[in-house]
Structure 1
Amino acid sequence: MDKPILTLDKGTRCTAWNYSGQRMAAGLADGSLVVYDSTDPASSVFTRTSRFKVQDSSILKVVWVPPEYGDAVACISADGTLSLLEEVMEDSEGHHWKMCKSFDRSTSQVLDVQFGDGQTCLKLVAAYSDGHIKIYELLDTLELEKWQLQAEFQNVIDLVSKFGNASCLSASISWNPQRSEVQQSSFVLGFSSNTPPLNSPKVWEFDLDHQRWLPVAELSLPEDKSDQVYAVSWAPNIGRLYELIAVATQKGISIWHLGSNPDPDGRLSVQRVSLLSGHDSEVWEMEWDMSGMTLASTGSDGVVRLWQSNVNGEWHEQAILTPAS
């Protein structure tokens, strides 16, 4: 008989495992953050070890900071606030969580946030409901409260384009998971909005020579540029000559090959190699395994699907996981 490993608090809106899978953070409708730990190394059962108030509004998303920077999470709240909280050790109180940064609040809602490592520092990219993207960089690896705004732009190829009345329902960001001294920071981002040029997923890369972010690829066919994007996921690369990126829209999950050698204009080649259908409704999340060989997807149909390619490069559904009745 299956045994649950933890029981979530009432009002849980979102959850996230840390990088080792040894801790879970959950955001609640009342604005609280809950942390669960396994107190017995020999057991897989998790119990609540912390619960504290972050904001007065519901927490919509929780993201863990990379582990080399300590135990910390970013929280997106329904009031548009982006907060960073850190677990600290004090002799008098033991372990406890504290607010170490509340990012500049704007009139628009933060829709997604992700962390990525650059060549010199940790970076954070946040996507907003007005279609803007803000990138912050950490000034001191030992002090998580010290960030500065590095760049702000919109998800369009033409860098001078501006859309005054853009309204975005959701956004999805995925950093290139590779870490290399010679490879520049890059990420893919797409919106679900009323402004088609913002929706089409773009790959952004940091131009070290000019100290700015540039769009180097667009992952959509001409007839699909207005499609709203639900989720994106960049696969780990363990030796391929190209990058692998998954993009979910209302038409299904597209698997893209992204070239590694830019043309004279700095653009990277793209090729859609498969369009996967199977989910009966919107896809919410996609994650690759550590090898970048298997893609897991889930959505509002309540089903987890696993996708793989065969030796001929043809993608197929490898397994379907349904919740226990």
Structure 2
Amino acid sequence: MYGAYGQVPPQQQYGYHQQQQQQQQPQYAAPAGNHQHQQHQHQQGQQYQYPPHQEQHAQAAAVVEPEGGQQWEQGDVGGIRQPAPTIYVDTQHDDMVHDAQLDYYGTKLATGSSDRTIKVYDVSGDAYTPNATLTGHTGPIYQLSWSHPKYGPLLASASFDRSVLIHREVRPREWTLIKAFVGLHDSSVNSVQFCPHEHGLMACAASSDGRVSVLTHDGADDSWTVEYLSDTPLGVNSACWAPYSVDRIDDGGDDDDGTTAIAMIPSAPRIATGGCDNCVRVWRKDAMTGTWEEEAFVSSDPGMGHKDWVRDVAWAPNVIPGTSVVASCSEDRTVIVWKQGVAGGGEGDVGDAGGKWTPTLLNTFDDPVWRVSWSITGNILAVSSGDSNVTLWKEGLDGSWSTVSRVEDIATTTGGKGGAD
């Protein structure tokens, strides 16, 4: 299933935590005129700015794919493939919806909003019913992430209030807060994501203070530890985990039958980040030292990367062994697909780490691009842009990308006022 298609809010000011001490309720002011983030980066006192093309009191709604909707087209009518139906969920939020995430099985939908609440819904077919309203944040909630069901129904949330909260459904429609990382960062937390379950119960969070935090749960004593990666002083907008994979290692020995012995070693955890310095970075946890190290990447090379803030990064599921694929989107209106390994690098590249990353421009849009998300099969990329539309893209055999579907703005489909996140 796809992740969220909602727009990510503009980067927050670094002075928020200082100003918050001087006032009990932060002010979230809507912008006047066009979105000029380079200017408001230096303005003082502006606490929060809504994304462009959105109204402060627009009707809050979320677009979800129906259960079993991994097939983006279904049915034949007169020999023509018909698009799968789109479900519009009236979330009943009092303010903008910034993120909407389906759980592993696609049976629960969680939405985060500027009204500082999380709404959870049970989804079955084309129907949905309210499950719970989760509170605890004191600022807009920017991103949500479900854990793998191996660890139960855990939901992490990232907020402008500098914190990450983790809720758990202890029994049907009864939720409890199991961990509150209050003051985790010095500024807005813009992104959070649980890692592949094979690495354990871990999550990463990206912040405007320029750091990425890695939250690790210790099952022995039910404690959590926090590590920080210093990414870019200008602020980090997004962070995502690489899918779990196994490295095939030839140990050089021979078995009794004369065949070469092969060792299968799990790959190290890796994180991709997108920041306000226009760069994409990849971090890898060294198996020997246990420390996080930055890998070589070409996004900062002239003519190779984005020309404006990177709003989102998404690591594709493993499709071709030994190949890593990352999509990034930016304020410069472009989406770039980065490949490393057999399918993306040059001669001698063997995939996972150490190989050369090569970029491919997917498309240049008419508006800034806010979010990118891969299908579970890794062959379809959903792109959410500033025109309030979601487009689905697929790569051809020649390496070029083309649109395969489009999800229109709710205002277009219903004739109503407001947009769908």
TM-score by length of structure 1 reads 0.81
* Equivalent position of 1:182 in the other structure: 266
Q: How does 1:130-141 map to 2 (within 5 A)?
A: 130-140=209-219
Among 304, 307, 321, the residue aligned to 2:390: 304
Indicate how the Cα distance of structure 1 residues 101 and 225 shifts in structure 2: closer, same or farther if over 3 A, else same: same
What's the RMSD between the two structures over aligned residues? 2.7
Q: How many residues align?
A: 296
Say which structure, 1 or 2, has more relative contact order (CA 8 Å, 6+ apart): 2
* Structure-2 separation of matches of 1:33 and 1:100: 15
1:107-126: CA deviation from partner (whole Å, max 9, x where unpaired): 32212111113755222111
TM-superposed CA distance for 1:201, in Å, is 0.7
Residues of 1 paired with 2:362 and 2:173: CA distance? 46
SS across alignment from 2:335: strand
- Give the alignment partner of residue 88 of structure 1, picking from 156, 170, 192: 170
The counterpart of 2:375, out of the listed 283, 289, 294, is 289
Aligned to 1:152: 228
Q: Residues 239-259 of structure 1: CA distance to partner in whole angstroms, max 9, x if unpaired? A: 344211111121511111112
State the 1:140 CA deviation: 1.1
Asked whether 1:230 is paired with 2:311, we answer yes
- Aligned-pair CA distance for 1:282: 1.4
**1:253 is aligned to 2:319:** no
Partner of 1:51: 133
* TM-score normalized with structure 2 length: 0.64
CA distance in 1, matches of 2:337, 2:113: 34
Q: Which runs of 5+ in 2 are unaligned?
A: 1-84, 247-264, 343-347, 416-421
- Can you list the C-alpha shifts for 1:7-38, whole angstroms capped at 9, x where unaligned? 21132523221121111112243322221114
Distance 1:300 1:4, change over 3 A: same
- SS of 2:150's partner is helix
The question of whether the paired residues in 1 share the 8 Å contact of 2:210 and 2:234 is answered with: yes
Unaligned runs of 5+ in 1: 157-165
Kept in 2, the 8 Å contact 1:6–1:47? The answer is no
Cα gap change, 1:103 to 1:230, in 2 (>3 Å): same
User: Aligned partners of 2:143, 2:295: CA distance in 1, in Å?
Assistant: 28
- How far apart, in 2, do the equivalents of 1:142 and 1:9 lie? 39
1:27 aligns with 2:93: no
Shift, 1:267, TM fit: 3.5
Letter in 1 for 2:228: E
Shift in Å, 1:133: 1.5
Of all paired residues, the percent bearing the same amino acid is 24
Work out whether residues 303 and 320 of structure 1, in 8 Å CA contact, stay in contact via their aligned partners in 2.
yes
Q: Would the aligned equivalents of 1:5 and 1:46 in 2 still touch at CA under 8 Å?
A: no
Residue of structure 1 aligned with 2:144, choices 54, 62, 66: 62
CA contact (8 A) 2:333 2:366 kept: no
Residues 21, 152 of structure 1: CA spacing in aligned structure 2 closer, same or farther, 3 A cutoff?
A: same
The residue identity in structure 1 corresponding to 2:361 is L
Larger Rg: 2
**1:277 aligns to 2:358 (yes or no):** no
Deviates more, 1:53-62 or 1:298-307: 53-62
